[in-house]
A and B are shown apart, each in its own frame.
Chain A
Amino acid sequence: MMNAQLPQETCIIVGASHGGVNLAFALRKEGYTGRIQLIDTDKRVPYHRPPLSKKHLISDEPAGQLLKPLQAYEKADIDLQLGVTVIDVDPSEKTVTLDDGSSHVYTQLVLATGAQPIIPPISGVASAAHLYTLRTANDAQAIAQAFNTCQQKRVVVIGGGYVGLEAAASLRQCGAQVTVLERESRLLARVTAPDMSDYFYRLHQENRVAVFNAKNVSEIQTHNNENLVICSDGSQYPADIIVVGVGVHVNTHLAEKAGLKIDNGIAVDANNQTSDDSIYAIGDCCAQFNTHYQRWLRLESVQNALEQAKVVAAVICAKPPKVNAIPWFWSDQYAVKLQMVGLSQGYDKVVVRHECDNPQSFSVWYFNGDELLSVDAVNHAKAYVLGTKFITQRQRVNISKLQDSSLALSSDLVVQV
């Protein structure tokens, strides 16, 4: 029986990926004593997503490196409900309805609903054979299975963003014949400077992946399980497998049902609280004002989901949240390790720094006037680490010293004020 003076709180978390899972555990760490229901449509025990396009496509390991072992949920008294979908929310009654017909009351509701890959409305896309997006462990497994069963290993990747390029690298390393078709005039156009686009273009070319920019796929013809990917300029590429990586739609349908404010994602404040006091949103699905960059951002990254999970856990437990406003990302392609910190949008100057003692390493530094906005570091953790410190502390970097690769990369590059 519930004690009237000590009502049992319930936190319902919708979405059990990086954000949702870490929130559940962070709540316990912060001392939350109520019920925690962690719900996801995906039947699999929650797993790491980044390796899906990287090592899981090429290793024999089954897709799905677990975020936490299954016993850990039980031990932390987290009620993990997998394979069920939250289909409705009633914010006035504070209830959610699941597709199994059950209804649950919450004290706090956290939407960690993520996003889903876009399938572009290309003619013939619905009837294409072995066409996959890549976001879930099921997707990765399906691609690996198709790869193992197809006689010919011709893969066309539609979209030259990180997911597409990582999938291209992984499948190439398995021996596939890979073609990447990018709609923009360069790879990673939305997120990096032309120098980085050129570098990744060359990297894939050197690994004998055919990369084509400015290719707008207009039609897919499929006969006997063989696809022909046709571009608007008339070029054609045969494909046994097609991987689509052209961005995501944010999952906002529950937020819409709850009548929450939505603007390029579920709008949240610094505490990740939505326009409803009892509902929070974290991860890819939410948009938040970034205090460092002074603008609204919706980030798609593991780190962002984890940081926001910690913030919400602290807020729910009435503790001061620790906020880190500097985003970071990573990508692994072939033997290349790319680490990125900060956001480059709005840059007006780029410094590309090569290292004399290591030809495999370089870094790209993005500035707006004097202000360092972001750093892309290729095989260069030192540049990444220093960039993180400079950006976080808003330190001014001596640009001419930075450009001089005879000077070591160190905190001596900071302009003393």
Chain B
Amino acid sequence: MTKIKVNGTVHELNDVSEDTPLLWVLRDHLGLTGTKYGCGVSECGACTVHIDGEAVQSCVTDLSEVGDSEVTTIEGLSEDGSHPVQKAWKEFGVPQCGYCQVGQIMMAAAMLKSNSAPTDEDIEREMWNICRCGTYPRIRAAVKAAAQEINQ
């Protein structure tokens, strides 16, 4: 049995092998389907979650690597979608299909914690997530707006 702490709750996992990527533990064993599969090789960022506050790609993070760390998924980012990044995403109408947006939001939220006034270059470097709908222009604008709100 393995224990894992997700969104403040400790879960006990039976019969889940230690080398299972966190992504599938969250989705298939804990039913937290907000975190998405996109590539499985950390190329697209759709599976981004926070581990102890840092953005991590859950598709390449084995359960054994999580240990006692705190995992935060989109379901735990805010109770009601009121995180500044989520609010900015709504204000700018960022999502098209919406599939990659959870990963984008988690990535942006983690970035803004360490850099609350990102430049265009910072945003381009840190927000490397793939969006096939092409929402990048709005992501850029929404990240800046979220940064402003955080700084107020």
Query: A and B, one complex?
Result: no
Listed in ascending order, the chain B residues whose CB lies under 8 Å from chain A are none
